[in-house]
Chain A
Amino acid sequence: MLNKDKDGWITNLKVHKEHRPTIEKSPIGTITAIVLHRTGSNNAQSVLNAWKNKPEGTHFLISETGKIFQTASLNKQCWHVGKLYSKCRINSSCEKADAEAIENILHMKNTRWGKKFKLVTRHELKKDYPARFPHNLDSLGIEVVGVISQKSETYETPNKLQLNSLFWLVDELVSLYGLSIKDLYAHGQVAHKDEKKSEGTSALKAYAIHREK
């Protein structure tokens, strides 16, 4: 079982503390989910450097060699999710009034797409998880170093070292917070990221296979 100190830091030799205070926000609520991300870069150092003065980031970062960094306290929110998809719209399970409200936002005239997505996100946040996708308020984020392949236009699959570290970390966090595999999400599936919704998807699929073993 993973140990966490009172300040929200993992005390385990496999996890290296690289505190980035600028990515830490308000206290986090009950942790109900984990969101898997990809960095869009090919090395962890550039991400660690960028997070010295950026507001966005995740609680963990897994390097190209599988080294696990904890960059933010698990007691704090990080801005890592972005603008949510409507979960019930994707699953075709919205109640009528809910579906109408979402469509009204999406069809607003003379409105930026960014603004529409912000309004959809606010609408979704009125719902409790798991009726909506997880958000910064209630989820941990794990970034895995990796870029989008120009050929496939999808994120490359993490390498073996990265996957081994990811499996260990996710297993431990799932156990620590009493989560299930249903509480694991790929960032591309929950927020408006890459068009093919691939961010985190290959990592999530690999984890699901690992759990089945």
Chain B
Amino acid sequence: MRKFIVTLLSTCFLLACSSSKVINIHEPELEFTNIKSDFILKDVNNYDCDDIDVSTLKYILTTSKPISQIELHDEFSTVGCSIKGWVTIKNKSIGFKFDYGGILYLDHGEIMACGEDCCQNNFKYCTWEKSENTN
């Protein structure tokens, strides 16, 4: 038992995890626990992105909403800075990738993204725009 606790604590220390429950505001039945990530940043465009923390992930899981591939294509941009992690949904641990454009790709195929509610107060990890024109 002691060994198990030590292993669990050291895993949490290395991965930075949060066991508290996060409930999505758009779909209250969508509950997330055990949010874990090693926060190792992949930066494909060399944008020198800053580190992200678990409280930001919690905010995204709370305020983002499930979207389709079409919505992703039309309304969001990818930054190319991303981290990987795991989250428990309905007692199942699911891997995810979070792109700094506010896009969370869950390994079971669902995509959640930081849209209107999430993009408040100049939230940094936000690329959502209803209309993409930049002229």
Q: Please tell me if the beta carbons of A117 and B124 are within 8 angstroms of each other in the complex.
A: no
A56 to B129, CA, bound (A): 11
Q: How extensive is the interface on chain B, given as a class?
A: 35 or more
A110 to B132, CA, bound (A): 21
Asked if B1 is at the interface of the complex by the 8 Å CB criterion, the answer is: no
- Chain B: which residue is nearest A57 at the CB level? B74
Give the tally of cross-chain contacts (CB within 8 A): 100
**In the complex, which residues 36-95 of chain A have their Cβ closer than 8 Å to any Cβ of chain B?**
38-41, 46-47, 50, 54-56, 77, 79, 81-85
Q: Please tell me if the beta carbons of B101 and A113 are within 8 angstroms of each other in the complex.
A: yes
Asked if A121 is at the interface of the complex by the 8 Å CB criterion, the answer is: yes
Q: Which residues from A are CB-within-8-Å of B123?
A: 112
A194 to B70, CA, bound (A): 12
Q: Please tell me if the beta carbons of B125 and A113 are within 8 angstroms of each other in the complex.
A: yes
Asked if B78 is at the interface of the complex by the 8 Å CB criterion, the answer is: yes
Asked if A31 is at the interface of the complex by the 8 Å CB criterion, the answer is: no
Q: Please tell me if the beta carbons of A106 and B47 are within 8 angstroms of each other in the complex.
A: yes
Q: Is the interface of B mostly helix, strand, loop or mixed?
A: loop
- Chain B: which residue is nearest A122 at the CB level? B134
A38 to B128, CA, bound (A): 19
Q: Please tell me if the beta carbons of B122 and A111 are within 8 angstroms of each other in the complex.
A: yes
Q: Please tell me if the beta carbons of A56 and B131 are within 8 angstroms of each other in the complex.
A: yes
Q: A192-B79, A192-B101 are in contact. Are A114 and B133 (CB under 8 A)?
A: no
- Checking B44, B74, B109, B126 against A113 with a beta-carbon cut-off of 8 angstroms, the contacting residue is B126
Q: A46-B70, A110-B122, A112-B126 are in contact. Are A79 and B133 (CB under 8 A)?
A: yes
- Checking A55, A147, A150, A195 against B80 with a beta-carbon cut-off of 8 angstroms, the contacting residue is A195
Asked if B33 is at the interface of the complex by the 8 Å CB criterion, the answer is: no
Q: Please tell me if the beta carbons of A195 and B124 are within 8 angstroms of each other in the complex.
A: no
- Chain B: which residue is nearest A37 at the CB level? B73
Q: Which residues from B are CB-within-8-Å of A35?
A: none
For residue A101, give the distance in angstroms from its CB to the closest CB of chain B.
15
- Chain A: which residue is nearest B127 at the CB level? A114
- Checking A55, A107, A193 against B77 with a beta-carbon cut-off of 8 angstroms, the contacting residue is A193
Asked if A201 is at the interface of the complex by the 8 Å CB criterion, the answer is: no
For residue B100, give the distance in angstroms from its CB to the closest CB of chain A.
6
- Checking B68, B122, B131 against A40 with a beta-carbon cut-off of 8 angstroms, the contacting residue is B68
Asked if A132 is at the interface of the complex by the 8 Å CB criterion, the answer is: no
Q: Which residues from B are CB-within-8-Å of A50?
A: 70
Asked if A118 is at the interface of the complex by the 8 Å CB criterion, the answer is: yes
Asked if A25 is at the interface of the complex by the 8 Å CB criterion, the answer is: yes
Q: Please tell me if the beta carbons of B68 and A114 are within 8 angstroms of each other in the complex.
A: no
A-B CB contact pairs (8 Å), 25 listed = A25-B133, A40-B68, A46-B70, A50-B70, A55-B131, A55-B133, A77-B135, A82-B132, A82-B134, A83-B132, A113-B77, A113-B79, A113-B100, A113-B102, A113-B124, A113-B127, A114-B77, A114-B127, A114-B128, A125-B135, A135-B135, A153-B105, A193-B78, A195-B82, A195-B99
Interface residues of B (CB under 8 A from A): 44-45, 47-48, 68-70, 72-74, 77-80, 82, 99-102, 105, 109, 119, 122-129, 131-135
Q: Which 8 A-B pairs have the closest CB atoms?
A: A40-B69, A114-B127, A192-B77, A40-B73, A121-B134, A112-B126, A79-B133, A40-B70
